Amino acid sequence: MSQLLPSALTDAIEEIGRLPGVGTRTAERYAYFLLRADKHITDKLASAVTKLHSGVKSCPMTFALIDADEEVSELYSDPSRDKTTIAVVEEPLDIVALERTGQFHGTYHVLGGAISPIDGIGPEQLHIPELIDRIKKDDVKEVIIATNASVEGESTAIFLQRHIIDAGIDIKITRLARGIPVGVDLEYASQITLTHALDGRRAF
């Protein structure tokens, strides 16, 4: 029996279906949309995806995502940002969520995930030593632990608190407070919810 669709289309469906949260039916709709769209749309999409790895890198200070030709994140180098306050997040997109509130004027530190033994992620896989170095280097006064409201996020928050204390660093450690439902990732929380969480952060 011959295949029902051209191989180029089935290849596109298969690759799109590899994206998280995209099932077979959704992948089929996306691929068919791209097939029917003007060629310049697919060319622009292909070009943008091709440039992802060469055009993006991690900031060596904050581990936020930056352009490949930048040295450090503007959210760190900007003199108007308060380097004595660090919001510690799990992933780079969490920074975007917090920045949209317009309420935070400190700097950020991306851990690169959360402690999750079931996924084989331990503290040694996260950017925790670099955080300790930054706290000392920038004379940080407050660390806001803004990990997600999940089991992994809470475990990571507790580990960070203990690690900072064990390092002999005496600073204010706070945690995002009310407004973040358990199980909701930071990047999906609303701006109003995050604003309340920042305003109501509590001692940790």
CA 97/CA 89 separation, integer angstroms: 10
Q: Round the average pLDDT of the chain to a whole number and report it.
A: 89
**pTM of the entire structure?**
0.79
- pLDDT at 197 (0 to 100): 63
Task: Collect the ranges in the chain with pLDDT lower than 50.
Answer: 1-2
How many residues are recorded in the chain? 204
Give the domains, in start order, of the chain with CATH numbers.
7-50 (1.10.8.420), 57-203 (3.40.1360.10)
Residues 6 or more apart in contact with residue 91 via CB below 8 angstroms? 110, 112, 113, 187
pLDDT, one tens digit per residue, over 130-157 is 999 999 999 999 999 999 878 898 899 9
Angle at 121 between CA 191 and CA 49, to 5 degrees: 60
H/E element, 29: helix 24-36
